[in-house]
A and B are shown apart, each in its own frame.
Chain A
Amino acid sequence: MAYPPEYKYTKEHEWLSVDGATGTIGITDFAQNSLGDIVFVELPKVGAELTAGSTFGTVESVKAVSDLYAPVSGTVTAVNEELATTPEKVNNDPHAAWMVRLTLANPAEAEGLLAVADYEKFIAEEQ
């Protein structure tokens, strides 16, 4: 699956899409693939403050749990409620199945993340 070039990526396999002061976060195709069938996604509440590098939720498959790490800091403005009943969307279309939207506390943080080419190189080494 292609990695959208306009996204930024982390070594923990989250993606970030930035639109002005709003960021959207999800997990990458690589992440969903290594987790396998996702059965549950635990997300923060609207209003929660995320700090770059710290955990903000979990994603579960049948036999594994993985923490979600915030690529950037900010305040959660929306969570993808659909994932509560249809977590399989993360498997089917990971780069569209967003998890949280947030108002970025410091847009410059996004600059420090991986560009698509660097991320693709990173996962090639992971495999």
Chain B
Amino acid sequence: MRYLPKSPDERKLMLDAIGAGSVDELFAPIPERFRFTRDLCLPPQMAESEIVDWFRARAAENANGQQILLGAGAYNHYRPLAIDTLISRGEWFTAYTPYQPEIAQGTLQAIFEFQTMICGLTGMEVANASMYDGSTGAAEAVMMAMRVTGRHEAILARSVHPEYREVIATYAKYQGLPLTEVGFSTNGRVDLEALDKAVTDKTACVLIQSPNFFGTIEDVVAIADIVHAKGALLVVSVAEALSLALVKPPAEADIVALEAQSFGVPLSYGGPYAGVIATREKFIRQIPGRLAGQTTDRDGKRGFVLTLSTREQHIRREKATSNICTNQALVALMVNIYMDVYGKVGLRELAEQNLAKAAYARKTLGAKAKVLFEGAPRFNEFVIEGTADAEAVFTRLSKDKNIVAGLPLKRFYPELGNTSLWCATELTSREAIDTAAEEVAR
């Protein structure tokens, strides 16, 4: 087997050194009745070229060269080539969690930079080293709010990504944390009146998403006022991180749960992505996940270490802030590199291109169908209501035009009827938008 660096003679020599007659002697601790003696039912060893062929064939069974006019929590942005060339260095991708700081300064400094950038983007004071993704990050943020406030109820905006809400429900189920939902108004934003009624002095937190699942930017200030008046925390989930380059950061929030996939992370059929939790300094001991902190070595040189570890499962066990151990470090590194490539000015210009494409798409599709949720600002997503069946349009665009677009919302929001969700990014061509608009009207 080509990954195994030993000759038969060397194996023999090692067995002799151990004093074992055969390798099976080393497996003697396993009771005989439980030893597996046949071959696994798997294909025989494949050559590297055969493996490549097999996966190329699978790739060919997926759509190839498709245009993507869909976000819904997974955004199609260009990935600068520097990202993959840099993270492909073995020193990055074949290293482990930086538990030994003297030989992990690369990873630790990169995390520290990442934490700094996330704080800058979100308007928060501390950010962790990453969570699995936006959905689990949002769930952990809700649990964190429960610990901070000592309260045991949470309110979720219905305009939060439907799958995020499902994940939160799974996490909350056995924490004694009943969840209620608050709906949206005709402009797509959280129904403030309903929210005001729903929040009580038992509410641990209110979770909103901004831009929300429909692409609408929430009135974070107004929502924060309502939430804070009752002593609850405001958790803001951000699924389209690029919006933060151009949209006012949710600085009034107590916790921001970000999905950073937009920043240089491949769509990869839904993962791996990178969630992040950012918050205020005063809540630092309730934050889940790893944190890198700055310190000095014995000669006073600057260096970085994992810190405040007593929050974590390997020390506090069942009293830990979370059971999370493995995170998404390499994905966070992609995000770091992406933010360096675009930087302070470029990220904003890129976001402006997204805004322009989305405006054009909205106008073009708006000529053939009704655009919903007018009257509130949006980033790069929007909802339309057409006359043709949304599922049929979705299927036809995919099958005939190789365009992924117009996610039918009936799947998640029966009350929205025949509507669909669209997105345009800097990679969406004008031609694809025009083609899609023709199909919507057909």
Contact = CB atoms under 8 A, between A and B. Distances in A.
Q: Note whether A and B contact each other (Cβ less than 8 A).
A: yes
Interface of A: 40, 42, 60-65
Contact of B315 (A40, A42, A65): A65
A65 B318 CA distance: 12
Interface residues of B, dominant DSSP: helix
Nearest to A64: B315
Contact of A40 (B285, B316, B319): B285
16 contacts: A40-B285, A40-B310, A42-B285, A60-B310, A61-B310, A62-B309, A62-B310, A63-B309, A63-B310, A63-B315, A64-B310, A64-B315, A65-B310, A65-B315, A65-B316, A65-B319
Interface string B281-320: 0000100000000000000000000000110000110010
A84 to B, nearest CB: 12
Contacts of A65: 310, 315-316, 319
A126 to B, nearest CB: 22
Contacts of B315: 63-65
A47 to B, nearest CB: 15
Interface residues of A, dominant DSSP: strand
Contacts of A62: 309-310
Interface in B316-353: 316, 319
Contacts of B316: 65
A65 B308 CA distance: 11
Interface residues on B, range: under 10
Contacts of A61: 310
Contacts of B309: 62-63
Most interface-central of A40, A60, A61 (chain B CB within 10 A): A60
Nearest to A61: B310
Contacts of A63: 309-310, 315
A25 to B, nearest CB: 21
A20 to B, nearest CB: 33
A57 to B, nearest CB: 13
Given A65-B310, A65-B315, 14 more contacts: A40-B285, A40-B310, A42-B285, A60-B310, A61-B310, A62-B309, A62-B310, A63-B309, A63-B310, A63-B315, A64-B310, A64-B315, A65-B316, A65-B319
